[in-house]
Amino acid sequence: MTDTQMTAIAARWMDVCGLADLEPFWGEAALVVGHQIAIVRLPGDRVYAVGNLDPIADAYVMSRGIVGSRGDRPTIASPLHKEVYDLETGERLGAEGPGLGSYPVRVVDDRLEVLVPEAGEEFAA
């Protein structure tokens, strides 16, 4: 996502949870300003946030996906049809098709914050 795309959309940092509330390699779902988000923590306190909607199954299940990697890219696979997505970008790997979308994250005072568009808006895919 470019800075230009970010400025065209009203977005704000939202407090979601404590970093300690996230177990490594285990996804959690969060509803933030109307957006269902799958949050995954990896070792080294690397945290990723992608859309929770599996675009192939049309079900909100990605937080229960299988966390792994392809080379040095962290991934999550759908628990239903096993499509694999890049946790950094939300891009579908290995096949064409819709991605998950991704959300910038940051940790401030041991609290996880996610940058989300205002209700009714979406980041460009």
Read off the pLDDT of each residue in 112-116 and give the average, rounded to a whole number.
96
Q: What is the pLDDT of residues 21-74, one digit of tens each?
A: 999 999 999 999 999 999 999 999 999 999 999 999 999 999 999 999 999 999
41 alpha carbon, distance to own chain's centre: 10
Distance (Å, whole) CA 26 – CA 71: 20
106 pLDDT exceeds 50?
Answer: yes
Q: How far does the chain reach from its first CA to its final CA, in angstroms?
A: 8
Mapped onto helix, strand or coil, the DSSP state of residue 55 is: coil
In the chain the domains, ranked by start, together with CATH numbers, are 3-112 (2.102.10.10)
In the numeric block, which tokens belong to residue 76? 């999550």
Question: Looking at the whole model, is its pTM more than 0.95?
Answer: no
